[in-house]
Amino acid sequence: MQLFRFANPEYLYLLLLLPAMTAIFIFNQVRRRNSLKKLGESTVISRLMPELSGIRPVIKFIFLLTAVSAIILMLARPQFGSRLEEIKKQGVEVIIALDVSNSMLAEDIQPNRLTRAKQAISKLVDNLENDKIGLIVFAGDAYTQIPITTDYISAKMFLSTINPEMVPKQGTAIGAAIKLAEKSFTPGEGKSKAIIIITDGENHEDDPVSEAETASKAGIIIHTIGIGSAEGVPVPVIAGGRRDYLKGPDGVTVITKLDEDILKKIAVAAGGSYIRASSSSIGLDEIFSNIRKMKKDELESTMYTEYNDQFQVFAALALLFMLLEIIIMDRKNRRLQNVRLFKFKI
- Average pLDDT of the chain? 84
* 226, 276 Cβ separation under 8 angstroms: yes
- Given a cut of 70, whether residue 213 has pLDDT beyond it is yes
What sign has the CA pseudo-torsion 249, 161, 116, 226? positive
The average pLDDT across 160-183 equals: 91
- For residue 264, the tally of other CB atoms under 10 A from its CB is 16
Task: Write the pLDDT tens digit of every residue in 13-64.
Answer: 999 999 999 999 999 888 877 776 766 566 655 555 555 566 788 888 999 9
Lowest-confidence pick of 15-24, 92-101, 127-136, 176-185: 127-136
Characterize 53-77 residue by residue with b for buried, 16 or more Cβ atoms within 10 angstroms of its Cβ, and e for exposed. beebbebbbebbbbbbbbbbbbbbb
Of the candidates 133, 138, 106, the residue with the CA atom closest to the CA atom of residue 122: 133
Task: Write the pLDDT tens digit of every residue in 229-278.
Answer: 988 899 998 877 888 898 888 889 989 999 999 999 999 999 999 999 98
* 293, 223 Cβ separation under 8 angstroms: no
pLDDT at 272: 94
* 139, 105 Cβ separation under 8 angstroms: no
Domains recognised in the chain with CATH numbers: 4-81+307-345 (no CATH), 93-295 (3.40.50.410)
Cα–Cα distance, 46 to 118 (Å, whole number): 67
- Given a cut of 70, whether residue 110 has pLDDT beyond it is yes
